[in-house]
Amino acid sequence: MEVDDLERIDSIRSELEKRSDDRRQRYGRFTLSALAAIPWVGGVLSAISALDAEHSQAEVNALQQQWLEEHRQKINHLGQTMAEILARLEGLGETAAERLEEESYLGLVEQGFRIWDQSGTEEKRQLVQRLLTNAGATRLSSDDVVRLFLDWIDSYHEIHFSVIRVVYNNPGITRAEMWDEISGAEVRDDSPEADLFKLMIRDLSTGSVLRQARDTDEHGRFYRKRHRDSRGAFLASPFENTKPYVLTELGRQFVHYAMDEVVPRIGSEDD
């Protein structure tokens, strides 16, 4: 393996070298916070360096070569993600630059990249990237709330995010309408698909991401719900079609932070 290969692998360091000295220190703290959450990076780079120093390419067996290639791609992906976040924040001026020095934000970076590394899909990694970028650019939500958003990304499945997206785009949507948007398949109320859908709604409701729509007074207090006599032969269907759902305010903020490219307008009067 040639020296040029090592330079391409170490894309994180290359990105820092492009910056001036004062910025390098600032971005260095961001980088160290991110790498602190991903302990395998240093071990992989050391292994690659040792193999390069002690063995010729022909002496590296096929399994080792496959392992190195896989991790080289992972490191390149990591470096690209970090560079994209920094590039976006750099274009937002001194406010974002100062944010990179805050211990609270650097803690979010460490937590975020730990989740990024453990995520099994690109969708989740994109959510983390958008969240860290927007959290560095705005204070629409407190850092404690942003930590909660990171926990949501870590614990929820991609189908949860599908439900969130549908409800955000269609406030007041019913369960039946949600299912039509997500799947559209005709399924029985006692089917595995219905059980999964109920689980998604329950998770997001108990997690304060979505709720049934309710009227409020001028102070934002919810009116007490009037219960109707609902006695009948059957339980309510998982795909019930009369009760509207909306995102909570926390849920709406999560969408703005993690599910849209909204850095230029996040926190604006329109939102």
- pLDDT tens per residue across span 8-63: 445 555 544 554 445 556 678 898 898 888 877 766 666 666 555 555 555 556 65
Question: Higher model confidence: residue 221 or residue 135?
Answer: 135
Strands (DSSP E) found in 138-249 = 210-212, 245-247
Residue 169 pLDDT grade (very low, low, confident, very high; cuts 50, 70, 90): very high
Question: Higher model confidence: residue 16 or residue 92?
Answer: 92
Would the pLDDT of 257 be above 60? Answer: yes
The partner residues of 216 in beta bridges, in order of sequence, read 222
Structural domains in the chain plus CATH codes: 3-118 (no CATH), 158-222+234-259 (1.10.10.10)
- pLDDT tens per residue across span 55-89: 555 555 665 666 667 777 888 888 899 999 998 88
Q: What is the DSSP letter of 91?
A: T
Question: Which of 120, 164, 119, 132 minimizes the C-alpha distance to 34?
Answer: 132
pLDDT at 174: 96
Question: How far is it, in rounded angstroms, from Cα 270 to Cα 257?
Answer: 15
Q: What is the mean pLDDT of residues 196-204?
A: 95
215 CB-side CA count, 13 A: 5
Tokens representing 1 are 């393996």
* 210 SS3 class: strand
Check if the beta carbon of residue 120 is closer than 8 Å to that of residue 72. Answer: no
* 32 SS3 class: helix
Would the pLDDT of 105 be above 50? Answer: yes
Least confident window among 35-39, 45-49, 209-213, 254-258? 45-49
| DSSP annotation string for 53-122 | HH--GGGS-HHHHHHHHHHHHHHHHHHHHHHHHHHHHHTT-HHHHHHTT-HHHHHHHHHHHHHHHH-SSH
pLDDT at 1: 45
Least confident window among 49-58, 88-97, 158-167, 185-194? 49-58
Tokens representing 236 are 């309510």
Q: What is the DSSP letter of 223?
A: P
Would the pLDDT of 121 be above 50? Answer: yes
* 23 SS3 class: helix
H/E segment holding residue 192: helix 192-206
The partner residues of 247 in beta bridges, in order of sequence, read 210
Strands (DSSP E) found in the chain = 210-212, 245-247
